[in-house]
Chain A
Amino acid sequence: MSDSPVLDTTRRRDATPANGIHTNGARNGSAQNGADHDEFGIDGPVRHGVAQTGTDGLSIERVGDGKLGSALLSVPGLEAVRSAENDNELTLNMGPQHPSTHGVFRLIMQLDGETVVGVTPVMGYLHRSTEKLGEARTYVQGVTLTDRMDYLSPMTTNWAYALTVERLAGLEVPERAEYIRVIVSELSRLSSHLVAVGTFGADVGTWFTPLVYCFREREEILDLFMLCAGVRMNPSYIRPGGVARDLSEDFIDRATNFVDRMQKNIDEYESLLTKNEIFLARTKGVGLLPPELAKQYSVTGPILRASGISYDIRRAEPYGIYDRFDWEVPIRYGGDAFDRYMVRIEEMRQCVQILQQALRDIPEGEIRGRMPKILRPPKADAYARIEGPKGEIGFYLISDGSTSPYRYKVRAPSFINLTVLSQLTIGHKVADAVVILGSFDIVMGEVDR
C-alpha cells in the first residue's frame, strides 16, 4: 500500500502546507520512542505520506517523511491532540477496519471539531487483480470472476459480462433464457437494495432492526438462488449464450409467492425508516449532489436518479427483453441521502412489478443458444453495459482471436460513484460522512476488483 500513490481529493479551507508534515512528525516521534502503538484510530494518513497540497481535485503526489515537531509531539498520550493543536484540526483515520466503511474502504478525514474539512478516500485493500485474471482465463471461465466483484448482486455482473461476450462472438440467447436472466437479475437487484437499505439504517444508527428485516427477505432470495444455481453467493449462473441451468417449477412457484409478499415487506421497512423524524433529520439535505456535478463525475445508478436525472440503461438502451415490461424509472429531485434511499425503495417496488410480469410470462424452451465447443471470438472489441443495482456496469473485452480475452476491462459503478464522495462530504459532520457513504451503497469487491 505504501508504494501506491494515494488519491488525494482533500479540499482545505486554509492551505497550510505544513499540516501533513506535522502529523508525520508525530508518527515518527512515536516510532523513535520504540513504542509500538495499536494502530486503531491513532495513526492517521501519516504512514503513507499523503500529499496535502491544498489544491482541489486529484493530485497524485507524495511528500517525504517530515521530522517537524517530533520533540514536542513525543509526549506520550498527547500527540493526537498536539498535532491537532497546531492548526485546530484532527486527522481521523476511518478504516480499513471500521464498522461502517462497508468493507475494507478507508477514509482519512481532517476534522475541525466534528466538522469534516478534508477527505481522502484510500482504495485498493481488496484489490485481487480481477482484470488481469480475466485475461488468463477462457471466456466462459471469466464469468466466475464477475461473481466476486459485486458479491451482493452477482447476477447483474454475470449478465454484463455475458452480454459483452455475446456481442463479441455474435451469440444468440433463447427466449426462455432471456426471461430467466431478467428474473434472477431483478431478484439480485432486490437483494442488493435490501442490503443497501438495511445497512443504511445501521449507518444512521438504528440498532440493526431494519438490517435484520431486510436480511430476512434477502435470505429468501439467496435460497432461491440456491434452488436455481446450486449456491447462494457466487452463482455464475448467467453465462455467455444463456444460463447455467433451467428453472424448476418449484422455483417459479416459490419466487411468485415471495414476490407477491414483497410489497408488504417493503411497506414494513418504510414504516421503520421513511417517516421516522430522526431518520429524516439525519438524511434530508445531507450530501447534496447537484445534477451537474453528478454528470461531471459520471455518477450512475440510484444516486444519479436521486439527483433528478432519469437515466436507467434498462430504459435508455434496453438490453435483453426489458422493453417488454411495464415499469417506471423512479426518479427524485432532492439529490440528498434521503432521496437516494427513497429511489432504492421505489426501485424495489419496480423490481417486484417486473418480476411479477416476467414470472407470469416466462415461456418454455431452450435455455442455452448454439455455442461452439471452444469459444474463439473473432479479432474485435466489444463493450456492453447494463443497469446494475449500483449503476452502470460495463465490460470492455478485446479479443485477439484466442480462447481468452486480450483485455478484460470493467467499468465498476461503485468505484466511479465514489470519486464524488469527498466533494459531498466536506463541510458536514463526521456522522454525516458515514450517512453519505452509506447512501452511496458501495461494495468493495467491485471498487477494488
Chain B
Amino acid sequence: MMEILFNPIGALGALIYELLRSFLPDWAATGLLALIGSAVLVGVISVVVMLLVWLERKIIARMQDRYGPNRVGPFGLLQSVADAVKLLSKEDVIPARVDRPLFIISPILVLAASLMVWGVIPWSPGVVPADINVGVLFLLAMGSMPVIGVIMAGWGSNNKYAMLGGMRSAAQLISYEIPGVLAALVPVMLAGTMSLTGIVNAQANGWWFIFSPWGFIAFMLFVISGIAETNRTPFDLIEAESELAAGFHTEYSGMRFALFFLAEYANVFAVSAIGAVLFLGGWNGPLPFLPTFGPGIVWFMGKVFLMVFVFIWIRSTLPRLRYDQLMNFAWKRMLPLALLNVGLTAIWISIATGNLRV
C-alpha cells in the first residue's frame, strides 16, 4: 500500500510486468515493458511541451500587455493542439534542390535528441526511466546532439540564411558546451557520483548544491549555457529573426518545422529538468523536514517550471547578442570562471574530506 503511495509508477510497472510475464517469456516481457515505458514517456513529454508552448505564449503576452491565445479551449489551452493539427495538415514542401536525406533526417534527429534526455531524468524516488550510473555523461552527450541536426538542416537546406544559421550554431553550441559541462561537473564532484539519483540523494539534507557559493556560480553558468544551447534570446543567433529570416529552419514548413519547434521547447524543458536535478535538489522539498510529498514529482515539477518561467522571462526582456560578443563572452568570461569554479570546488572538497592539509 505504502509502495503505491510513494512509488506509484514503479508499482504500476511491476504490475504490468507481472501481467505480461503471465503469458510471455521473460525477455519479451522486459522488452515490451521498455517499449510501453518509452511510449508513455514520449507521450507525456509531448503533452507537457505543448503545454509549455501555451505557457510561453501566455506569459510573454501578459508581459507585453496582451491577452495571448484565448480562443481555442479554456484559456486558449488547446491552442497548441490546433496549431499542431494545422501544421500536420499542411503540404509537405521539400524544396527542389535541397539535400534530401539531410533535410528529412535533421528535424527528427533534433527532436529525438531532446526527448532522449528524458530517459535518465529522475522524476521522484523510484520513478527513473533508466537509472544509469553515468547519467550526467549521458545528459551531456544528448545535450550536444541537436547541434548536429541543426548543422545538417542548415547545410541541407541549400539556403544562405540557413547555412549562416547552421554555421553559427556549430560555433555557438560548441563554445557554450564547455562552460556548461564544467558547471555540471561541480554537482558531480560534490555528490561524488555521476548517477542522477545519487546526485539528488546527496541533496536530500536540504543543502541543495545551489546554496554553496561554487554551486551558485555553477548554476548561473549552467543556466546561461543552457539558454545558449536551447537557442533562446539573448543567444538565439541561430534563428535570429531580424537577421536571418528564420535561420536554419528557413526552408522548413508544415510538420517538419513543427518538429524543430517542439524540439526547442522540449530542450527548454529538458535543460530546466537537468538544472533542477543537478542544482535544485530534484524531488527534495525546500526544507529537509518536509516529506518528499506523496510522489516527489510535485517538488520536481515545481522547480522545473520555475526555471522554465525564468527562461520565458529572459526571452521577453533581453535583446540578442552579436556573434562575436557571444563568442567573447563564452571564451573570455564564462570559461575562465567555470575553470576557476571547478578548482575552488576541488579545493573545498579536499579540505572538507581532510585530504588536503593546509
Chain A interfacial positions (CB closer than 8 Å to B):
30, 35-38, 40-42, 76-77, 80-81, 90-93, 98-100, 114, 201-209, 212-213, 216, 272-273, 276, 278-279, 281-282, 429-432, 434, 438
Q: Is the CB of B325 within 8 A of A37?
A: no
Partner of B319, one of A30, A278, A430: A278
Query: Is there contact, CB below 8 Å, between B318 and A206?
Result: yes
Kindly supply a per-residue 1/0 record for chain B positions 240-262, scoring 1 wherever the CB is within 8 Å of any chain A CB and 0 otherwise.
11111100001100000000000
Counting CB contacts under 8 A, is B66 at the interface?
yes
Tell whether, in the assembled complex, residue A114 and residue B96 are in contact, meaning their CB atoms are under 8 Å apart: no
Q: Check if B65 sits within 8 Å of A431, measured CB to CB.
A: no
Q: Is the interface of B mostly helix, strand, loop or mixed?
A: loop
Closest B residue to A280 using CB positions: B319
The verdict on B316 contacting chain A, using a C-beta distance below 8 Å, is: yes
Query: Are the CB atoms of A37 and B95 closer together than 8 Å?
Result: yes
In the complex the two chains form, is A432's CB within 8 Å of B322's CB? yes
Contact A40 B250 (CB under 8 A): yes
The CA of A36 and the CA of B63, in the complex, are separated in Å by: 44
Contact: A213 with B96, CB < 8 Å?
no
Cβ A35 vs Cβ B234 within 8 A: no
Contact with A along B322-345 (1 / 0, CB 8 A): 111100000000000000000000
Interface string of B82-95 (1 = CB under 8 A from A): 00000000000001
- A-B pairs with beta carbons under 8 Å apart, 28 shown: A35-B97, A38-B95, A40-B159, A40-B161, A41-B245, A77-B98, A92-B164, A98-B245, A99-B242, A100-B242, A114-B164, A114-B324, A202-B242, A204-B319, A205-B236, A205-B242, A207-B315, A207-B316, A208-B64, A209-B63, A212-B65, A272-B317, A273-B319, A276-B318, A279-B319, A281-B325, A429-B322, A431-B237
Contact assessment for A212 and B66 in the assembled complex, using a CB-CB cutoff below 8 Å: yes
Q: Which residues of A contact B315 (CB under 8 A)?
A: 207
Q: B47: shortest Cβ distance to chain A, in Å?
A: 25
Q: A114-B323, A212-B64, A431-B240 are in contact. Are A42 and B158 (CB under 8 A)?
A: yes
Contacts of A434 in B (CB 8 A): 242-243
Kindly provide the distance from the CB of B3 to the nearest chain A CB, expressed in whole angstroms.
46
- Interfacial chain B residues near A212, Cβ < 8 Å: 64-66
- Any A CB within 8 A of the CB of B77: no
Known contacts A114-B323, A205-B240, A429-B323; is A213 also within 8 Å of B65 by CB? yes
B233, B234, B242, B250: the one contacting A203 at CB < 8 Å is B242
Q: Which residue of B lies closest to A43 (CB)?
A: B160
The reply on B321 being an interface residue by CB < 8 A is yes
A77 touching B240, Cβ below 8 Å: no
Which B-chain residue is minimally distant from A98 (CB atoms)? B245
CB proximity of B101 to chain A, nearest CB, Å: 11
Question: Nearest chain B CB to A283's CB is how many angstroms away?
Answer: 9
Cβ of A208: which chain B residues have Cβ within 8 Å of it?
64
Q: Cβ of B160 and Cβ of A207 under 8 Å apart?
A: no
Given contact pairs A281-B322, A429-B324, A35 touches B96 in the complex (Cβ within 8 A): yes
User: Which of the listed residues B60, B63, B236, B319 has the most CB atoms from chain A within 10 Å of its own CB?
Assistant: B319
